[in-house]
Structure 1
Amino acid sequence: MADDLWHQTSGAVMTITINRPERRNALNASVAAGISAALDKGEADPSVRAIVLTGAEDKAFCAGGDLQLDADGTPFTIEAADPRHYVAGLFRRMRACRLPLVARVNGHALAGGFGLLCACDLAVAKEEALLGPTETRVGLFPMMILPHLLRVVPERALMEMCLTGEPVTARDAVPLNLVNYTVPADELDAKTDWLVERITSKTPTGIRLGKQSLAHIREMSFDHALEYAQFMLANMCRTEDAREGMTAFAQKRAPEWTGR
């Protein structure tokens, strides 16, 4: 495992940590590859039901690409003709992940780091963390993260953030639905654990199939979405988890999920 990223599994939860605090946990090719590999490992492990993404220490969740011109991971080295850039690959992998992704925002999430936050399904942040696309401050625009921003950030807020490059505090981000919860720094772990437990106690099969279906439905017309939803619901009803869920409900007991 690379020194700049590590992951560990405890019970039903895998935690992925970007470990570059000296560079404000900036993204580079190694970090992107490490996150993707960890997602592969988590999906292959039937005991893992949710994945938490966070940064090392308490200053930054992820500050995006390293802005030093010759740094590892700088956006200034992107080749315009190459569609296989590591950031694009990482965001595609996160979008395809069938396990719930929860961002534990331990510090600032800026530029590409804000994109990582928006690529997660849910987010818990410490109150004073700054969030936003800051690319216009350095002569750029948040191009690589726009596909995720468009799905998460309300239109007017998106335009203001992208055009001004001014971040907002996590506390102010809650009304914009950029994060689910904000807490004081010393309550971050407890709130994250609380949210993750509410996920991992539910059907893993239903959640995996549901996330996969949601990704497809977003791209469909209304009529096609309804047709696809009916097909997927019929298939989900045949799973062991669905049968167990209905049986447990009828028997007034807690379900025992098999993940099948």
Structure 2
Amino acid sequence: MTDTSSYPECDDLAVTVSDDGVVVRVVIDRPEKQNALSETVLSGLSDVLRAADQGPARVVVIRGAGGTFCSGGDLESMASHIGGGPQAYRSGFSGLAELMEQLIETSALVVAAVEGHCLAGGMGLAAACDIIIATADATFGTPEVDIGLFPAQALVPIMRTVQEKQALKLLFTGEYIGAETAHEIGFTSEVVPTQDFESELDELIKDLAASSPVMIEMGKQAFYTQRDMDFHEALSYMREIIALIAMSEETEAGINSFLMNEQPDWKQRGQ
């Protein structure tokens, strides 16, 4: 792994970067708290994404320490806002919403590597990532309804990922579902046997990182932009996007490499 000095330090996150800077792995390192999303974790993840955008990163992987992805928001942090009035609550809950927006907008593809529990705000965090790979024994749910709290922020990416009626049942019952059920309702990209998780994750990362950085950045932005358009508007927009991507030096290099039966040597972003 390469030097991580360009990435901010955070006591609750462990960050490693590949030698070429293309792959960034971030581990939420609060196993004693089931990797709950404290304000420090949320701001730390935001800082990592910001640093990744300033470098050559094409793939960012988020996972949790100790065999658990994330149990959701940190209730102790939430409790500190009791009695503080609406502005204190609004400020205290803004971190996750801002991070989920950033996950969509960042230039790199973001992979949620889910093991164990993926709950509440943690499920929202995963849903805001571009790709979700999970172990067969992973568990998903929005149990904050059990304490009278509606998963309002997590709902936004979840409802754009999961079949509507299945999502509504999940959000209002707080039930836990297994990885296979999560996959059936459209939440995960891939579910793999637990014993094969590391190798399957590495293979996925390798496949994603092999792509042109221009294609990744523009393709990701185009996908999320067209999602809310009607059919004809989206088709018109995507016609312009494919023309722009086709005009890039990276696509030219890719075509030439294909014709020469070689692997393309992509430029890094900003070169």
Q: TM-score, normalised by structure 2?
A: 0.87
- Counterpart secondary structure, 2:77: coil
Point out 4+ residue stretches in structure 1 off by more than 3 angstroms: 73-84
> Of 51, 55, 58, which aligns to 2:64?
55
Deviation, 1:80, is: 4.3
- Counterpart secondary structure, 1:61: coil
> Of 14, 39, 43, which aligns to 1:6?
14
Partner in structure 2 of residue 102 of structure 1: 111
Deviation, 1:200, is: 0.9
Conserved? CA contact 1:27–1:73, under 8 Å: no
Query: Identity across aligned pairs (percent)?
Result: 32
- Counterpart secondary structure, 1:144: helix
Partner in structure 1 of residue 4 of structure 2: none
Q: How many residues of Structure 1 are paired with residues of Structure 2 in the alignment?
A: 255
How far apart, CA to CA, are the structure 2 residues paired with 1:233 and 1:182? 31
- Counterpart secondary structure, 2:150: coil
Deviation, 1:79, is: 6.1
- Counterpart secondary structure, 2:124: helix
- Counterpart secondary structure, 2:166: helix
Partner in structure 2 of residue 72 of structure 1: 77
The amino acid of 2:46's aligned partner reads: S
> Of 178, 189, 193, which aligns to 1:180?
189
Q: TM-score, normalised by structure 1?
A: 0.91
Report whether the alignment pairs 1:158 with 2:152. Answer: no
Change (3 A) 1:73 1:5: farther
Partner in structure 1 of residue 212 of structure 2: 203
Report Cα offsets for 1:24-51 as digits up to 9, x if no partner: 00001111110011011112112x2201
Deviation, 1:76, is: 6.2
How far apart, CA to CA, are the structure 2 residues paired with 1:245 and 1:128? 39
Deviation, 1:73, is: 4.6
Unaligned runs of 5+ in 1: none
Deviation, 1:171, is: 2.7
Over the aligned positions, Cα root-mean-square deviation in angstroms equals: 2.0
Report whether the alignment pairs 1:258 with 2:263. Answer: no
The amino acid of 1:39's aligned partner reads: L
Matches within 5 A, 1:224-235: 224-235=233-244
Change (3 A) 1:93 1:74: farther
> Of 31, 46, 50, which aligns to 1:40?
50
Partner in structure 2 of residue 190 of structure 1: 199
Matches within 5 A, 1:237-252: 237-252=246-261
The amino acid of 1:18's aligned partner reads: I
Deviation, 1:87, is: 1.3
Unaligned runs of 5+ in 2: 1-8
Deviation, 1:152, is: 0.5
How far apart, CA to CA, are the structure 2 residues paired with 1:208 and 1:79? 40
How far apart, CA to CA, are the structure 2 residues paired with 1:5 and 1:169? 27
Report Cα offsets for 1:118-158 as digits up to 9, x if no partner: 01111111221211211221112110111101110111210
How far apart, CA to CA, are the structure 1 residues paired with 2:230 and 2:182? 30
How far apart, CA to CA, are the structure 1 residues paired with 2:114 and 2:255? 36
- Counterpart secondary structure, 1:14: strand
